[in-house]
Amino acid sequence: AAALRPAPGQGAAARDLLALLAGGDLVQPGTARKLQDPLSFRCAPSVLGSGFAALAAARQAVELELSSAGDNPAVIAEDAVALPNANFDPTHLALAFEALGAALARVAAVSAARIMKLMSPASSDLPRFLAPVQDGSAGYGPVQKTAAALVAEIGHLAAPMPVVVLAVADGVEDYATMATATVGKTGEIVARLRLLAAVELVVAAQAVDLRPGIRLGTGSAAIHMAVRALVPRLEADRPAAPDIAAVTAFIAEGGLEPILG
């Protein structure tokens, strides 16, 4: 299906997801339960694929800067020439990171939507807030506010930097790319997205445990096991912050890379 509309990154994302699900119930014939899944699930390959494409473009921009010279003037010693130039201007880098931030904001939006769907009995057929005991327990309900706050902060950080700046140097420097600030805020987006991914993993692991009799794919089972090695199943209400922090650190340290390949 992805080949019918080969959007940038979509095919690679679809292949990665199918590889994680291989060997599980979801890829077996006749196991699908819903024809029209929520778009946060259904559009995961296209949204993640756009993120992959934006990341590749940002990487290419950085590699160009690292492998070339932005000196002004450029001194060509063998020709005894000094060439005044504007190669110090990284507009292409700033634009690549603005696009990456916007793409990651969309990745965050669908992640948060999936978190909410997993906690809703109407969507998941699981207990409300994934609380194992429906006696007024909060379950993972409070974590919804964490997800909402992270998405709001990411959306704010994804807003583009101003393109009109105050002229300095007696009017000579009347344009600035704001590339440093753009890269900085994109880094802040990544940090918050990592937290949000940890929330989704913790919530998804609980959802898996509350649905008996299912068989996960080889990759998704390995991820579930990795999360459970850090976070025990929720049996009674407890603060979620330590669990989220543990999974966030695990992601930051590259703990998922052997599974994701």
Q: In this structure, what CATH number is given to the domain that contains residue 110?
A: 1.20.200.10
CB 259 within 8 A of CB 220: no
**The predicted structure's pLDDT at residue 32:** 67
Given the structure tokens 């969309």, which residue do they identify?
Answer: 106
pLDDT of amino acid 35: 64
Tokens of 18: 């199918």
Calpha distance 205→231 (Å, rounded): 9
Task: Tell me the two tokens of residue 112.
Answer: 């948060």
Beta strand spans in 31-158 (E): 74-76, 81-83
Cα-flanking dihedrals φ and ψ of residue 120, to 5°? -100, 120
Total domains in the fold of the chain: 1
pLDDT value at residue 33: 66
Burial of 162 (0-12, 13-18, 19+ CB in 10 A): exposed
The whole domain housing 15 covers 2-260
DSSP string computed for 143-203: HHHHHHHHHHHHHHHTSPPPS----BTTTTB-----HHHHHHHHHHHHHHHHHHHHHHHHH
Residue with tokens 């690292």: 66
User: What pLDDT, on the 0 to 100 scale, is given for residue 30?
Assistant: 81
Q: What is the mean pLDDT of each run of 10 residues along the chain (261 residues)?
A: 92 95 90 79 95 98 94 93 94 98 98 97 94 89 98 98 93 94 98 98 98 94 98 96 98 95 80
